[in-house]
Structure 1
Amino acid sequence: MGILEGKNILVAGVTMNTSIAYRVAEIAQREGATVLVSNFGRALSLTRRIIKRLDPEPPLLELDVTSEEHLAGLADAVREHVDHLDGVVHSIAFANPETALGGKFLTTPAEDVKTAVHVSAYSLVSLAMACKPLLGPGSSVVGLTFDARQSWPTYDWMGVAKSALESASRYLARYLGPDGIRSNVVAAGPLETIAKKAIPGAESFNEIWAQRAPLGWDPRDLDPTAKAVVALLSDWFPATTGEMVHVDGGLHSTGA
């Protein structure tokens, strides 16, 4: 029996098989979960093709987390497939690489900052609230971050947005805790995903991790991060909320 046996999990933000979200969906299924996935817009066709590799092929929901209409209809869309949710995975982020990343921090237009924070941070709260009618005691919300307690080269306004995401998760833990709903984030090291490739100069992260991670770090291996997400979705962390779990080879614990 897997650790998610009998649970219903929504994984938001599945795009390619090289995405963390895809690997989470794959491992969650292996651990017994019924999985639903979401994406929107032009990426929806990519998701539709890639989830055919999963067994069983999960239902695909169209969800733009900046659309009030999509959020308002999410619970009913989920109910077409399952009657409740036990977990929600937030694997969604965006910042304009032309203006908000790659060393352009001091000149980024306010509108692009608003977009980065809305899509990458506020959406954790709006997604959780859209799913709240389906969540009950023991359920879990898990987000993905790149430890934003310090600044990183080239990461710029995405770093600010991730910092907001981490704080938002702690406030979700505060306000959803009385309903028995947990909220945590997993802070992964740099992984070779589409999101990372969109960051100008992101190859420097690999050099930093190669030099400083005590356990070493393979940027092509999604399993450690995905397994941590699945563990937080399970019943094995029943009293853990408001936490940031590092899956980074231990780099966060080292100095220069």
Structure 2
Amino acid sequence: MTGGLLAGKRLLITGVITKDSIAFHVAEAAQAQGAEVLLTSFGRVRRMTERAAARLPTPVDVLELDVNNPDDLTALEATLGERWGRVDGALHAIAYAPEDALGGRFLTAPAASAAAAFQTSAFSLKSLAVALAPLMPPGSSLVGLDFDAQQAWPIYDWMGVAKAALESVARYLARDLGPQGIRVNLVSAGPLGTVAARGIPGFEQLASLWERQAPLGWDIEDPAIVAGAVSFLLSDLSRGVSGEILHVDGGFHAVGAPSF
């Protein structure tokens, strides 16, 4: 496709595990809007990512990236520089918390688990931004996936704290990268039935809150609705938007209690 919202853009998409991943749907939407896409993955998950990459409308390559590994970040910058010469946008869809930091274990979680959640889920946005910024021309866009950190949610525990940190990291990146013409924004998505989400103990009960309370309704099996918002933020239509958190949750965040 030669036309489209993202025509001619070169986009790096992290976080694809399976075709049900939000990031997969972002990559799919980006291709439909004319973008050239590369994915990242690492370790044992990489084979799953490669299978998903082969199912995109235009199959793409998967680059090695453990976002906590400085060598991988250095190699990623070099590879993208040689292959593309520039990166017009990227999706940060990376989050992880150890099992003992989730599922109602907030008070018992060890410091090491909380630190792991912060490093992988929040600090990694800064790490990815620093690696890509030298390749990003003015007008580029970095978008991260978020989950509303204004509230203390059941079962989410230290991942919720890490998401609050992610929101702060995004604001500071917007401040520091803005002079280079690089936008940094987050999409705060309602709960979706991805592989990662279903691994959180009690996910179904948490997701049911959105299904009951979101004014627009909420389908946990529809990640494409989030992909549309990400596509907007990656596009030139959002050229004046940075440091923003765009809620895509059926309006749930705006409602204090379900209708009587």
Smaller-chain TM-score bracket: over 0.9
Equivalence for 1:150:
151
2-side partners of 1:150 and 1:52: how far apart? 38
Letter of the 1:232 counterpart: L
Higher mean C-alpha displacement, 142-151 vs 76-85 = 76-85
Determine the structure 2 residue equivalent to 1:117.
Answer: 118
Q: Decide whether the 8 Å contact of 1:95 with 1:101 is kept in 2.
A: yes
Match of 2:63 in 1: 61
Tell me which amino acid in the other structure corresponds to 1:45.
Answer: R
User: 3-state SS of the aligned residue for 1:70?
Assistant: helix
Matched positions, count:
255
Report how far residue 111 of structure 1 moved: 0.8
Could you list the per-position Cα deviations for residues 164-222 of structure 1 after superposition, in whole angstroms to 9, with x for gaps in the alignment? 00110011000000000000000000100011111100111222112210000010001
Root-mean-square deviation (CA, aligned residues, Å) is: 0.8
Gaps of 5+ in 1: none
Q: Deviations over 1:103-161 (max 9, x none)?
A: 00001111111110000000000001001111010000000011011110000000000
Most deviating of 198-207 and 186-195:
198-207
Residue in 1 aligned with 2:129? 128
Work out the CA distance in 1 between the residues paired with 2:55 and 2:83. Answer: 19
**1:1-256 matched pairs, under 5 angstroms:** 1-97=3-99, 99-256=100-257
Offset at 1:248?
0.1
Q: Partners in 2 of 1:11 and 1:94 — Cα distance?
A: 17
Is the 1:59–1:81 Cα contact (8 Å) retained in structure 2? no
Contact map agreement 2:148 2:189 (CA 8 A) in 1: yes
The answer for unaligned runs of 5 or more in structure 2 is none
Q: Residue 18 of structure 1 contacts residue 194 of structure 1 at CA under 8 Å; is this kept in 2? A: yes
Instruction: Please give the alpha-carbon distance, in whole angstroms, between the structure 1 residues aligned to 2:141 and 2:127.
Output: 15
The TM-score, its normalising length taken from structure 2, stands at: 0.96
Kindly state the Cα deviation for residue 55 of structure 1 after the two structures are TM-superposed: 2.9
Which one-letter code corresponds to 2:149 in the other structure? A
Partner SS for 2:161: helix
Q: Detail structure 1 runs of 4+ shifted over 3 Å in the superposition.
A: none
Contact 2:185 2:233 in 1 (8 A): yes
Cα pair 2:214 2:250 within 8 Å, conserved: yes
Quick one: distance in 2 between partners of 1:204 and 1:49?
A: 30
The SS at the match of 1:106 is coil
CA–CA distance in 2 between the matches of 1:231 and 1:43? Answer: 28
- Which letter maps to 2:45? A
Which sits farther off after the overlay, 199-208 or 36-45? 199-208
TM-score (norm 1): 0.98
Instruction: Output the CA distance in 2 between the equivalents of 1:221 and 1:86.
Output: 26
Identity %: 52
Return 79-88 or 177-186, whichever deviates more. 79-88
